[in-house]
């Protein structure tokens, strides 16, 4: 994989000292020096035969050998598990587009070295070999392109469009459709400006679903009724035309965004028009998928703690790791950490605890990525006493455990990529069996299964040990107190 750009998957053009390098010939390397956990990025360089030559100074923007700046030579090697030997190579254009996308899509400015560090950790954590579809939800970054018809197209080429002046009204209020339902449509009671402002934030799949919710909305949001402001929003970084580099000075005072949108759609469908535009869109899509992963890494404000063995962790002495469920994938990946989550309220000195599970969604599949345990006093949620993995509060779902509950059985929903859901069976004081579910347990995606984990006889589950890759949970194992004996009245 290191022979190709880790961002877009394309190869590198051979160096020609007699001409300016093409976009595919200018490259950079992220490398980790021996005995150093931090990575650094090089200046511009080029490929010559079986080697990469790059400038040591990261600020050097001269890729050819005519510069007097110091050169580094790197052999073209595959990514390995040895940090000191791992190098990531990518096109300068792809790197610049990634930085641009990160700055446009987040409100926090990240340093280049931090982004490079996150990129390095991500690529090092990928399973050896392809495909990665099951691992990252079929994200497309770093995949070798199959299209050959535009392999030489330059995505950095300047774009010129025949942008027409505005020909439609900002809000076609004189064409408001009437509701056809016998009862008034709730959406028809909203001011039309509010409705159009709302849809400008939706991506195309969400807009299609929104139109299905109401005949009034379906008519109001037709191609010819949507205002220019909506079509302009399609060129924002988070929408489908965000890859188009529109220069403000080249636009009319009031461009016809709808006409521009459909002109570009037509050009992109053509096999002979705007090949450089199709190349740019492909790289932008790769960067967009990659950015989601990098942003998650960069936004974490706590270190992931690795517990390799329950016997090595003082709070876990006297406990035993028993049955285990893990992702169904046969591909080996780098395990980022192994962490213990205590589900015993007595351990925390509480009558009740709340377990919150975070998820990360990759290509419509929600994987468990983090655990948070908090003290619960009735309806009041107290302090956080335990963290594991990556916490995403906006995605959390919650269940509670009482000190009187005995945790006897866990069902884990696993797919080829990781954990999707957990189902806990507890026995309460009245010997009543209760299932407490969290995550996805029904409507499972392809190549997934539910694995049952039973506690041993005369023992009690006190927690779970969770294995994580760089982003999500990939395994769960029961931690039991084998010295625990329930009272005879509760042994049933």
pLDDT at 248: 53
Which H helix or E strand runs over 90? strand 87-91
Q: Does the structure show a pLDDT above 80 at 259?
A: yes
The string of pLDDT tens digits covering residues 46-80 is: 888 778 888 888 877 766 655 556 778 777 654 44
Other beta carbons less than 10 A from residue 26's beta carbon: 25
SS3 label, residue 336: coil
CA separation for the pair 373, 386 (Å, rounded) = 5
What's the rounded Cα separation, in Å, for the pair 427 and 485?
14
Cα 46 to the center of its chain, rounded Å: 30
CA distances from 476 to 316, 434, 458 (A): 16, 21, 21
Q: 362 vs 8, which has greater pLDDT?
A: 8
Residue 356 structure tokens: 């919150």
486 and 390 within one domain = yes
C-alpha 185/C-alpha 214 separation (Å) is 8
Same domain, 465 and 324: yes
Say if residue 347 is in the same domain as residue 474. Answer: yes
Does residue 267 fall inside a structural domain? Answer: yes
pLDDT of residue 398: 93
From CA 66, how far away is CA 482, in angstroms rounded?
A: 71
Structure confidence at residue 137 (pLDDT): 43
Rounded Cα–Cα distance for residues 445 and 138 (Å): 13
As a whole-number percent, the residues of the chain with pLDDT over 90 amount to 9
Q: Which residues contact 119 (CB under 8 A, 6 or more apart)?
A: 6, 30, 88, 98, 290, 294
Same domain? 201 vs 104? no
- Please indicate, yes or no, whether residues 354 and 456 belong to a single structural domain of this protein: yes
Calpha distance 230→233 (Å, rounded): 5
Residues 82 and 230 in one domain: no
Q: Are residues 117 and 244 in the same domain?
A: no
Do residues 184 and 75 both lie within one domain? Answer: no
Position 355 confidence tier, pLDDT thresholds 50, 70, 90: very high
Average pLDDT over residues 250-270: 80
Q: Tell me, what's the pLDDT at 428?
A: 81
Measured CA to CA, the distance from residue 60 to residue 2 in angstroms comes to 22
- Predicted TM-score (pTM) of the model is 0.68
Arithmetic mean of pLDDT, 255-277: 79
Cα–Cα distance, 115 to 110 (Å, whole number) = 7
Distance of alpha carbon 460 from the chain centroid: 36
Task: Determine the average pLDDT of the residues in 154-180.
Answer: 56
CATH of the domain at 254: 1.20.1280
Res 247: pLDDT: 64
User: Do 322 and 373 belong together in one domain?
Assistant: yes
404 class by beta-carbon count within 10 Å (0-12 exposed, 13-18 middle, 19+ buried):
middle
Q: Do 258 and 346 belong together in one domain? A: no
Q: What average pLDDT does the segment 285-310 reach?
A: 67
The count of structural domains within the chain is: 3
- Residue 281 lies inside a defined structural domain of this protein: no
Under a CB-based contact definition with an 8 Å cutoff, are residues 413 and 377 in contact?
Answer: no
List pLDDT tens digits, range 407-419. Answer: 889 999 998 778 9
Report the sign of the C-alpha dihedral through residues 94, 100, 101, 106, in that order. positive
pLDDT at 173: 47
Look up residue 397 and give its two tokens: 């779902």
Q: How far apart are CA 478 and CA 310, in angstroms?
A: 11
Average pLDDT over residues 366-382: 85
Of the pLDDT bands very low, low, confident and very high (cuts 50, 70, 90), residue 424 is very high
Structural domain contains residue 32: yes
Bridge partners of 31?
Answer: 40, 87
Which has the higher per-residue pLDDT, 452 or 238? Answer: 452
313 versus 112: the higher-pLDDT residue is 112
Q: How many whole angstroms separate alpha carbon 350 and alpha carbon 375?
A: 7
How far is the C-alpha of 209 from the C-alpha of 195, rounded, in Å? 15
Domain boundary residue, one of 127, 146, 165: 146
**Which stretch of 40-44, 156-160, 411-415, 486-490 has the lowest confidence by average pLDDT?**
486-490
Handedness of CA 342, 348, 349, 350 (dihedral sign): negative
Residues 462 and 396 occupy one common structural domain: yes
Q: Which band of pLDDT confidence, cut at 50, 70 and 90, is reported for residue 445? A: confident
What average pLDDT score do residues 132-144 get?
A: 48
Domain assignment present for residue 122? The answer is: yes
Whether 302 is covered by a domain: the verdict is: no
φ, ψ of residue 351 to 5 degrees: the values are -80, -25
236: containing domain: 173-273
Distance CA 333, CA 179 (A): 55
CB-count exposure of residue 178 (10 Å: 0-12, 13-18, 19+): exposed
Evaluated on CA atoms 333, 390, 299, 416, the torsion sign reads positive
CA 214/CA 186 separation, integer angstroms: 9
Answer whether residue 490 shows pLDDT above 50.
no
Comparison of pLDDT for 339 and 447, the residue scoring more: 339
350: CATH: 2.100.10.30
**pLDDT tens, residue by residue, 192-243:** 888 888 888 888 888 888 888 888 888 888 777 888 888 888 888 888 888 8
- For the chain, the average pLDDT equals 76
Q: What is the 3-state secondary structure of 294-333? A: HHHHHHCCCCCCCCCCHHHCHHHCCCEEEEEEECCCCCCC
The DSSP string of 180-213 is -SSSPPGGGGS-HHHHHHHHTT--HHHHHHHHHT
Whether 171 has a pLDDT exceeding 60, the answer reads no
Which of 421, 405, 412 is closest to 353 using CA atoms?
405
CA distance 251 to 397: 46
Tell me, what's the pLDDT at 356? Answer: 94
Residue 315 lies in a domain: yes
Return the axis-axis angle of helices 112-125 and 275-299, rounded to nearest 10°. Answer: 90
Query: Are both 320 and 251 inside the same structural domain?
Result: no
* Residue 304 belongs to a domain: no
Q: What is the mean pLDDT of residues 464-492?
A: 72
Per-residue pLDDT at 95 exceeds 80: yes
- What SS3 state is found at 411? strand
- Average pLDDT estimate for 167-187: 54
Mean pLDDT of 312-332: 68
Residue 163 included in any domain:
no
């Amino acid at each position: 994989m290191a022979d190709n750009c880790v961002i877009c998957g394309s190869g590198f053009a051979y160096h020609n000292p007699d001409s300016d390098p093409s976009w595919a010939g200018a490259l950079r390397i992220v490398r980790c020096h021996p005995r150093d956990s931090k990575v650094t990025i090089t200046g511009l360089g080029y490929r010559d035969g079986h080697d990469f030559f790059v400038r040591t100074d990261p600020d050097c923007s001269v890729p050819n050998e005519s510069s007097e700046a110091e050169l580094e030579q790197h052999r073209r090697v595959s990514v390995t598990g040895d940090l000191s030997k791992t190098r990531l190579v990518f096109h300068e254009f792809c790197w610049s587009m990634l930085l641009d996308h990160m700055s446009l899509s987040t409100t926090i400015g990240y340093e280049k070295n931090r982004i490079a560090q996150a990129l390095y950790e991500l690529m090092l954590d990928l399973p050896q070999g392809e495909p990665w579809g099951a691992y990252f939800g079929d994200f497309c970054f770093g995949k070798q392109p199959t299209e050959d018809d535009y392999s030489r197209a330059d995505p950095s080429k300047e774009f010129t469009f025949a942008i027409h002046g505005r020909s439609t009204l900002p809000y076609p209020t004189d064409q408001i459709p009437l509701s056809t339902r016998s009862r008034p449509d709730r959406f028809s009671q909203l001011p039309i400006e509010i409705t159009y402002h709302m849809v400008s934030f939706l991506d195309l799949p969400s807009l299609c679903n929104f139109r299905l919710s109401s005949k009034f909305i379906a008519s109001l949001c037709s191609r010819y009724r949507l205002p220019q402001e909506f079509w302009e929003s399609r060129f924002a970084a988070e929408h489908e035309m965000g890859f188009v580099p529109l220069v403000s000075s080249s636009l009319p005072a009031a461009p016809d965004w709808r006409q521009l949108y459909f002109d570009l759609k037509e050009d992109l469908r053509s096999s002979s028009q705007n090949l450089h535009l199709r190349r740019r869109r492909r790289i932008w899509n790769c960067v967009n998928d990659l950015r989601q992963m990098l942003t998650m890494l960069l936004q974490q404000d706590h270190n992931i703690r690795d517990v390799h063995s329950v016997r090595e962790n003082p709070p876990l002495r006297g406990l035993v790791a028993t049955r285990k469920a893990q992702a169904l994938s046969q591909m080996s990946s780098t395990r980022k950490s192994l962490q213990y989550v205590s589900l015993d309220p007595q351990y925390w000195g509480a009558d009740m605890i709340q377990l919150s599970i975070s998820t990360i969604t990759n290509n419509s599949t929600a994987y468990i990525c983090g655990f948070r345990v908090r003290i619960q006093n009735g309806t009041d949620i107290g302090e956080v006493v335990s963290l594991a993995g990556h916490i995403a509060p906006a995605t959390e779902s919650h269940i509670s455990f009482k000190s009187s509950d005995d945790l006897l059985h866990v069902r884990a929903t696993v797919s080829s990529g990781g954990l999707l859901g957990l189902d806990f069976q507890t026995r309460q004081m009245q010997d009543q069996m209760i299932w407490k579910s969290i995550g996805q347990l029904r409507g499972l995606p392809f190549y997934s299964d539910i694995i049952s984990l039973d506690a041993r006889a005369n023992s009690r589950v006190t927690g779970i040990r969770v294995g994580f890759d760089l982003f999500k949970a990939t395994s769960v194992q029961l931690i039991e107190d084998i010295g625990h004996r329930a009272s005879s009245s509760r042994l049933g």
